[in-house]
Amino acid sequence: MKKNSLKTITGMTLIEVLIGVLISSIMIGAMYTTYNAVNNSYSQVTDKAKISRSGRDIVEMLMRDIRMAGYKYYLGSNNLGLPERSYLEFKDGRDNFAESHHGIVIIKAADADALGHNIDGDATPLIKNDSNDMCCDKIHIVYDDFDQNDLAQPYKRYRITYFAQPINDPNGKDPRYGVYRSKQSWIQVLGDETGEWSSECTECYKNELIRDHLVDMEFIPFDREGRVIIPAPRPDNTSRDNLTRITAVDVRLSFRSKREFFRFEPTADKPRFVKGLTDRTRQFMDKYLRDSVVVTIHTRNIGT
């Protein structure tokens, strides 16, 4: 008679269970670390792309406006009863800088520092967030246009200004600048001998914020020989004769990321730099990413 053999019941011991849990934890940790690294890299690439895209967008605006600088409209013979050429008064701005009609006028940050940031009649002078800050240049661009449907003032003249202003941070923890733009129109109806700049028109706007988190904005004018015009010509300085000789403008726009980009702060011997076109290079000791867009814009209606 055969004896019934006892069936062997197999299972996992406590040690095997713990080993399995440990291996699973290591795998999950490795997967999380990989995901976190990929996610951080993606965020960094996205932040850098946003800085570059914002810079290009503003450069496109500047390129369009600078290429229009100094443009004069000539109607010629017509059956509309309108003057063949612009009747608008031209003001040199030598005695009153705010009335200048020159195609391009650049106000360097250093000059504005010395003269109180209000040399061009701007009612909102730049206030520095940092005494060591070198931000920012300002540029006035003037060009003419024509509207045959406006019989009161068919010939038009516009002045566009790009400038920087501090951004008000409610918490006071993130002092920074923004790029602003304003547009004025010269009001001088047909038959009047003089006029004035005005911000009260359908095409005008004042202190329009274009982009936040600006680090610096720099404009360098060149003459027809490709030489830098020093000092930058203004109606009220000794270089004012060069206002009609500007053939190109180098533009540098530097922005920083909205949030901290790097994991570690730089050390004293290895700071992070933002290089300027001239002597505007500055070092930073925080974790933000900063990047610059540099472009040369040729004028079409000045210096020819």
CA distance 128 to 132: 9
In a domain, 24, yes or no: no
In a domain, 146, yes or no: yes
φ, ψ (nearest 5 deg) of residue 54: -65, -40
What DSSP string runs through 101-163? --SEEEE-HHHHHHHTT-TT--SS----SSTT-----EEEEEEEEE-TT-SS--EEEEEEEEE
In a domain, 28, yes or no: no
For the stretch 167-200, pLDDT in tens is 877 676 777 889 999 999 999 999 999 999 998 8
pLDDT at 125 over 60: no
Q: Which residue has the tokens 């003419």?
A: 144
Domain count within the chain: 1
Contacts of 83 (CB under 8 A, 6+ apart): 75, 155, 190
In a domain, 1, yes or no: no
In a domain, 184, yes or no: yes
Task: Quote the pLDDT of residue 135.
Answer: 83
Range of the domain at 135: 34-298
- Find the mean pLDDT for residues 274-295: 87
Q: Are 108 and 66 in contact (CB under 8 A)?
A: no
pLDDT band at residue 86 using 50, 70 and 90 as cut-offs: very high
pLDDT band at residue 28 using 50, 70 and 90 as cut-offs: confident
CA distance 67 to 297: 7
Q: Round to the nearest angstrom and report the end-to-end CA distance of the chain.
A: 121
Mean pLDDT of the residues in the chain: 84
Task: Quote the pLDDT of residue 123.
Answer: 47
In a domain, 303, yes or no: no
In a domain, 61, yes or no: yes
- Find the mean pLDDT for residues 236-251: 92
Q: Are 220 and 187 in contact (CB under 8 A)?
A: no
Q: Which residue has the tokens 């701007």?
A: 122
In a domain, 26, yes or no: no
Least confident of 72-76, 129-133, 151-155: 129-133
